[in-house]
Amino acid sequence: MAGQAHYTSAPPSADAPHGGFRFTAVSPTARPALDVLRPLTGYARPPGAHRHDHFPVAFAYDRPDDDTAVLTRTRFTGQDYTGRWGNHFCHALYAAPDELAGLRPVELWDTPHWAPTPTPDDGHDLPDLTQLVPGSALGPDRAGRLLADTGDPGVRLLERLLTAALRTLAGEGHGATLVSADSDRVVDWIAAVSYTLPAGLAARLTFTTYTARPEDDHRHLTGTRPGTGERAPGPVFHLDRLTGDGCSEPSPTARFLAGALGSMRLEVLDAVAELWDAAPADGVEAGVRRLRAGCALLAPDGDTGALGGEGSRLVGFARAVAELRPKEAGLAPERLRDAVVRHLADGSAPLGDVRAALAPLPQPYRPAVLAGLLAALEASAELRTAALDAQACASLFSLVDETPDMLAATPRTALHVLRRAPGEPRPAALRILRLFRQGLWEETETYEVLRELVRAEEPKPQQQRAPRLLWRRGPAREKE
């Protein structure tokens, strides 16, 4: 059950002997939370604004604590009951986070719950809301059209805006300020950020579409008008020009998510959300790490940078899987195996120490990732040549006895590894024969592999030297 409350400047009443700004109508669920709601009901006019100017609507979302979600929609209404200029009306919705399950807060921008004016029944209870109903104005299609209309500059702006949003969600920097003369444009870009994120993480992203004092705002995304954006302490995004000031270079995670929305590959965003939802909910900072890990798992070109790691693609992938805590998340090992194949299929960097890279993974995910790696290597001779250096071959060589069935399914990779692992050819031949005795390789296949192994070890015939001709006789020849 969600509560609601109206706040405006109103004349004295039986329950309020003093006129002025106060709550004029409250529902039962919201009544105990008035002290939480009151600091969120303010409104300041744009500096230098005149009476005939258009004043933006401030639509805001706050999380005062982990157990509370507050949405407010505040309008400037002009004169109050005394004729004083400067009144505003704030309608607040007070809910537990569970009331927003499956919703992104920005979707309530035009919910039918919002009252256009304060209720005339001053002092009477408002009804609680049994369900928060999203409006119809926003959706992923509208966010996609925004990027289609703005083209490549719009996608680049979203990459940087997402980078800033994820950093501030993770507690790594100031919130971002969005500057535009049109508050609807601010709503559009907040929606674009929200639709790239899993709904559960978007529910932690606080925002306001308008404030006259961005320097004092505490939210992750803050909208303001031209002329006040320069006061903001963090990165500033000029939406009307599609430019930004003080913005970090986009992270791999932000590039991946913005690219998916820009090309309307919503199934990719759904896959990210599915992985994110499958992992335990253990705080917003951990949620950002899970998002980065999920993107690293799904991105075809890798995302080790999103995890702050260095090294091979395999190392980055294994770290991403470990971050996801796949056992607790209930992820199928076969799904990770297939993801490895996609992730490493076009790789060219050496794999490094395979055993060390896979060590953080629990069973049965370690062999699943190894199976995906071997399948990717088996499918591409170029990948085998590029990725399997001496260290990787030695590392895989040490896993032969542990995973004979996997090597049986990838004979070309097995031969490549066995031929290049350090040591004499005899141990390699014995392992090949062991695969044959276990019934994992056919007789013809085993013969061909052994023949190639022996040929590779045969010394190349030395080229015979041509006889040396003596064009002139030395002293010894003259004595003869």
Quote the DSSP letter at residue 54: -
CB-count exposure of residue 53 (10 Å: 0-12, 13-18, 19+): exposed
Residue with tokens 């005062």: 64
- Predicted confidence band of residue 397 (pLDDT cuts 50, 70, 90): confident
Residue with tokens 């790789």: 347
Distance (Å, whole) CA 356 – CA 241? 48
pLDDT at 425: 60
Residue 94: how many other CB atoms lie within 10 Å: 29
Whole-structure pTM over 0.85, yes or no?
A: no
Which residues 6+ apart lie within 8 Å of 262 measured at CB? 144, 147, 148, 154, 155, 158
pLDDT at 460: 55
In a domain, 415, yes or no: yes
Number of domains in the chain: 2
pLDDT at 24: 92
Distances (CA, A) of 296 to 253, 293, 478: 7, 5, 83
In a domain, 473, yes or no: no
CB 236 within 8 A of CB 246: yes
Residue 402: how many other CB atoms lie within 10 Å: 12
Residue with tokens 């979600």: 69
Q: Which residue has the higher pLDDT, 446 or 291?
A: 291
pLDDT at 302: 46
- pLDDT of residue 456 exceeding 90, the answer is no
- pLDDT of residue 472 exceeding 50, the answer is no
CB 165 within 8 A of CB 110: no
Range list of H helices, 43-169: 140-169
* Mean pLDDT of the region 215-220: 94
Distance (Å, whole) CA 90 – CA 23? 9
- pLDDT of residue 311 exceeding 70, the answer is no
In a domain, 101, yes or no: yes
In a domain, 284, yes or no: no
In a domain, 434, yes or no: yes
- pLDDT of residue 248 exceeding 80, the answer is yes
Distance (Å, whole) CA 10 – CA 19? 6
Q: Which of 94, 110, 126 is the last residue of a domain?
A: 110
CB 410 within 8 A of CB 375: yes
Note the Cα 195 to chain centre separation in Å. Answer: 11
Q: Helices 411-420 and 443-457 meet at what angle, rounded to 10?
A: 30
Of 174-178, 418-422, 442-446, the range with the highest mean pLDDT is 174-178
* Mean pLDDT of the region 302-322: 60
- Structural domain including 41 reads 3-46+53-110
Taken in order 296, 283, 201, 232, is the CA torsion positive or negative? negative
- pLDDT of residue 391 exceeding 70, the answer is yes
pLDDT at 268: 86
- pLDDT of residue 112 exceeding 90, the answer is yes
The percent of residues above 90 in pLDDT, for the chain, comes to 42
pLDDT digits (tens, 9 = 90+) for 334-373: 888 888 887 777 667 788 888 888 888 888 888 888 888 9
In a domain, 366, yes or no: yes
DSSP codes of every residue in 412-480: HHHHHHHHHSSS-HHHHHHHHHHHHHTTSS-HHHHHHHHHHHHHHHSPPPPPPPPPPP-SS--HHHHH-
CB 207 within 8 A of CB 190: yes
Mean pLDDT lowest among 44-58, 267-281, 364-378, 453-467: 453-467
Q: Which of 110, 125, 141 is the last residue of a domain?
A: 110
pLDDT at 51: 76
* Mean pLDDT of the region 116-134: 85
pLDDT at 173: 84
Mean pLDDT lowest among 33-47, 83-97, 286-300: 286-300
Note the Cα 139 to chain centre separation in Å. Answer: 19
Q: Which residue has the higher pLDDT, 346 or 25?
A: 25
Q: Which of 83, 110, 137 is the last residue of a domain?
A: 110
What's the mean per-residue pLDDT of the chain? 84
Residue 458: how many other CB atoms lie within 10 Å: 7
- Predicted confidence band of residue 459 (pLDDT cuts 50, 70, 90): low
- pLDDT of residue 476 exceeding 90, the answer is no
In a domain, 341, yes or no: yes
pLDDT at 304: 38
- Predicted confidence band of residue 189 (pLDDT cuts 50, 70, 90): very high
Of 45-49, 90-94, 467-471, the range with the highest mean pLDDT is 90-94
The percent of residues above 70 in pLDDT, for the chain, comes to 86
- pLDDT of residue 441 exceeding 60, the answer is yes
| Spatial strand order in the sheet of 3-10 | 20-26, 3-10, 85-95, 68-79, 58-65, 207-208, 221-224, 176-179, 236-238, 243-245
- Which phi and psi (to 5°) does residue 392 adopt? -65, -40
Best CA proximity match to 275, nearest among 338, 323, 205, 308: 323
* Mean pLDDT of the region 220-241: 92
| Pair type for strands 207-208 and 221-224 | parallel
Two structure tokens written together for 459: 């010394």
- pLDDT of residue 396 exceeding 90, the answer is no
Distance (Å, whole) CA 177 – CA 246? 11
Q: Which amino acid is at 134?
A: P
In a domain, 156, yes or no: no
- Predicted confidence band of residue 471 (pLDDT cuts 50, 70, 90): very low
Distance (Å, whole) CA 388 – CA 395? 10
3-state secondary structure of 236: strand
The string over 73-91, giving b where at least 16 C-beta atoms fall within 10 Å of a residue's C-beta and e elsewhere, is bbbbbeebeeeeeebbbbb
Best CA proximity match to 76, nearest among 110, 94, 109, 50: 50
